[in-house]
Structure 1
């Protein structure tokens, strides 16, 4: 309720977490913003990322009025560490979210531009099945995916 006051353009609705999870599975396109506690947010955000195709796609930003922290939603993924197969989209998308937050907080259009460029490059690369990582059914490892993303950033 406290957060909703600052965002009148976003429809406010309270839901129990189990009902929210069911609604998210049934109609994910109806949910653009979900505000919750860290405990429930961790569960709901993992579910939303998997619905999009992979936990490796879920960007994560923990933010308040004065501070923010971006992180890969999936954590450190120690089971695949050092194998070159991790999908870096989560961390890269989280960086874009942090740039967006910084741009709003400091009224800095350069951060907003950087966020939009990163988001556009991610969308461009992920829309091409030949440039997806293995968790999304593509052929690329971490380094090749990152190279494709850097190339896409250079075209903006």
Structure 2
């Protein structure tokens, strides 16, 4: 029995979570789903967007499924805070096109430092944000990237940085990358400035297998990956630490379409595939992933973000039918 903390959150987070849980319950694996609150609606009820009860339950669970939350200006980001509390230093985002074989790479994003460290201060009319990069943070994310490439049979790991402008912070990241690359002689290693990386993703995506980068850069690149695929509704993500895992779609809560039953559940469902892999349930993950692939490749049942007219539930039902 696996204990899974479920945090639907706000907006379409609620709508894509339910069919995902329904699908997981059809697998030959026993789950205990424990629902907890976070996000804007939680803040309205409890005065906080991330209650301590939610954090503690996540720590006690085998894994966490996270929908999406709406940001609140007076509160720190619930998902960023949860990543820090659980020390989920890896953010893994596969970018896979079903129509273009050149687009098939994974972004490995450092998840705990950089400009997401909440180190801001105001001095008069001057506001300063501190970008924190450490040797430890760089080493562990880069080692994860190379180990991931080795495990999945990828040939190349690329570091994306801006060491020409940020010679101290990104200098640490770049130097650590090449130091660690020496431990993996069978994997090619190279680096690009982040702006060049962004250009090459559009002009020549086939040159990438695994991209490892810092927090903000990884966040931006993965949205660019969504653009390459045509929809953020197709991109899952895994947040992984030494003791916990949290799995979420890359898209946000999309309040503009909430309640209209047209949110794409694919990213949430694929995120649950990553969770199954994390739990060691590879056979179940492969079964579900193939069902998703089959539905997308048939190109018949699709939500409006993919130029279709089907509802969230109709897409989920089609995946269940394939399974």
Provide the TM-score with structure 2 as the length reference.
0.42
Given candidates 134, 141, 144, the residue that maps to 1:3 is 144
Aligned counterpart, 2:301: 131
Instruction: Show CA shifts across 1:69-122 (max 9, x none).
Output: 11110121111111101001111111111211222xxxxxxx111111121011
Structure of greater relative contact order (alpha carbons < 8 Å, 6+ residues apart): 2
| Counterpart position of 2:223 | 46
The CA distance in 1 between the partners of 2:317 and 2:149, in whole Å, is: 40
The count of corresponding residues between Structure 1 and Structure 2 is: 146
TM-score, structure 1 normalization: 0.83
2:237 to 60, 72, 78: 60
Give, in whole Å, the separation in 2 of the partners of 1:56 and 1:113.
24
Q: Does the 8 A contact of 1:28 with 1:48 survive in 2?
A: no
- How far does residue 8 in structure 1 lie from its aligned partner after superposition? 6.3
| Greater mean alpha carbon deviation, residues 36-45 or residues 52-61 | 36-45
Aligned partners of 1:144 and 1:124: how far apart in 2? 15
| Aligned partner of residue 309 in structure 2, secondary structure | coil
Q: Which runs of 5+ in 1 are unaligned?
A: 104-110
Partner of 1:107: none
Report the CA distance shift for 1:24/1:142 in structure 2 as closer, same or farther (over 3 A): same
Gaps of 5+ in 2: 1-141, 158-189
Where do 1:1-156 residues align within 5 Å? 1-7=142-148, 9=150, 10=154, 11-12=156-157, 13-103=190-280, 111-153=281-323
Equivalent residues of 1:96, 1:115 under 8 A apart: yes
Q: What's the RMSD between the two structures over aligned residues?
A: 1.8
Higher helix share: 1
Deviation beyond 6 Å, 4+ runs, structure 1: none
Is contact 2:149-2:210 (8 Å) kept? Answer: no
